[in-house]
Homo-oligomer: A and B are copies of this chain.
Amino acid sequence: MLGERINEGDDVLLYLTSHKTYLVKVERGKRLHTHKGYVNLEELIGKQYGAQILSNKGVEFYALKPTPRDYAFKMQRKTQINYPKDIGLIVIYSGIGPGSRVLEAGTGTGALTSILAHFVKPTGRVYSYDVRLDHLEVAKENLSRAGVLEYVSLKNKDVTEGIDEKDIDAVILDMPTPWLVVKHAYSSLKGSGAFIAFIPTIEQVIKTVETLREENWFVDVETFETLLRGIQVAKDRTRPQTFMTGHTGYIVKARKVLPK
Contacts and interface: CB of A to CB of B under 8 A. Distances in A.
A92 B87 contact: yes
Contacts of A224: 228-231
Nearest to A191: B50
Contacts of A84: 88-89, 92-93
A220 B50 contact: no
Interface residues of A, number: 91
A184 interface: no
Contacts of A166: 1
Contacts of A245: 242-244
What DSSP secondary structure best describes chain A's contact surface? Answer: mixed
Contacts of A18: 219-222
A258 B95 CA distance: 36
Contact of A227 (B118, B223, B226, B256): B226
A95 B115 CA distance: 10
A158 interface: no
A57 interface: no
A92 B88 contact: yes
Interface string A78-111: 0000001101111111010110000000000000
Contacts of A247: 229, 239-242, 244
A231 B223 contact: yes
A254 to B, nearest CB: 10
A22 interface: no
B119 A201 contact: no
26 contacts: A2-B167, A3-B191, A3-B258, A15-B219, A15-B220, A18-B220, A18-B221, A49-B190, A50-B255, A50-B258, A64-B220, A64-B257, A69-B92, A70-B95, A85-B88, A87-B92, A97-B121, A98-B122, A200-B239, A209-B233, A222-B230, A223-B230, A225-B229, A226-B226, A231-B250, A244-B245
Given A52-B260, A201-B238, A202-B231, 7 more contacts: A63-B192, A64-B257, A97-B118, A98-B122, A119-B119, A239-B247, A241-B247
Interface of A: 1-4, 15, 18, 48-52, 60, 62-65, 67-70, 84-85, 87-93, 95, 97-98, 115, 118-119, 121-122, 166-167, 187, 190-194, 200-206, 209-210, 219-233, 235-248, 250, 252, 255-260
